[in-house]
Amino acid sequence: MIEGLKVTVSGNELKELCLKQARHHKHRASVYAAQEQSMVANQIEPMHYSGGDPRQALKDRRAVHESEASELEFIATHLVPNEQYLLDCAALTKLGITRSRY
């Protein structure tokens, strides 16, 4: 018996979902990198009105997306193709199928 809401996905489908979400994270990382480089190229100095450094915030967001992409690519390369995987809500969120409530 399965408790809670879970879905069964084949290894092949899960690999594609992982790689798709990894591509999303790579794209977001490149957007943040471009924004940060634009600030540098245009000699925009960080304004500390909010107590934060916007360039550092962009670097931090880029790093988060790069890390997520790497993790998903690692998972994709270690799946058993014809195996069935039981995914819960947290896994669906990681794959970008559902949004986090937090």
- Ramachandran area for residue 10 (φ above 0: left; ψ -120 to 50: alpha; else beta): beta
Position with higher pLDDT, 60 vs 44: 60
Confidence label for 48 from pLDDT (cuts 50, 70 and 90):
low
Could you tell me the residue range of the domain that residue 46 belongs to?
7-94
Task: Give dist(CA 28, CA 9) in Å, integer.
Answer: 26
* AA identity, residue 92: L
Q: How many CB atoms lie within 10 A of CB 93?
A: 15
Specify if 19 maps to a domain.
Answer: yes
The percentage of the chain sitting over the pLDDT mark of 90, rounded to a whole number, equals 71
Confidence label for 90 from pLDDT (cuts 50, 70 and 90):
very high
Q: Do residues 84 and 10 lie in contact, with contact meaning Cβ atoms separated by under 8 Å? A: yes
pTM here is: 0.85
**What are the tokens at 99?**
């949004």
Q: How many CB atoms lie within 10 A of CB 10?
A: 15
Q: Residue 100: pLDDT above 80?
A: no
Specify if 101 maps to a domain.
Answer: no
- Report the number of distinct structural domains present in the chain: 1
**99 Cβ contact partners less than 8 Å away, ≥ 6 residues apart:** 93
Specify if 14 maps to a domain.
Answer: yes
Specify if 100 maps to a domain.
Answer: no
Nearest CA to 75 out of 40, 25, 29, 30 is that of 25
How confident is the model over 26-43, as pLDDT tens digits? 999 999 999 999 988 887
Specify if 2 maps to a domain.
Answer: no
Specify if 71 maps to a domain.
Answer: yes
Specify if 102 maps to a domain.
Answer: no
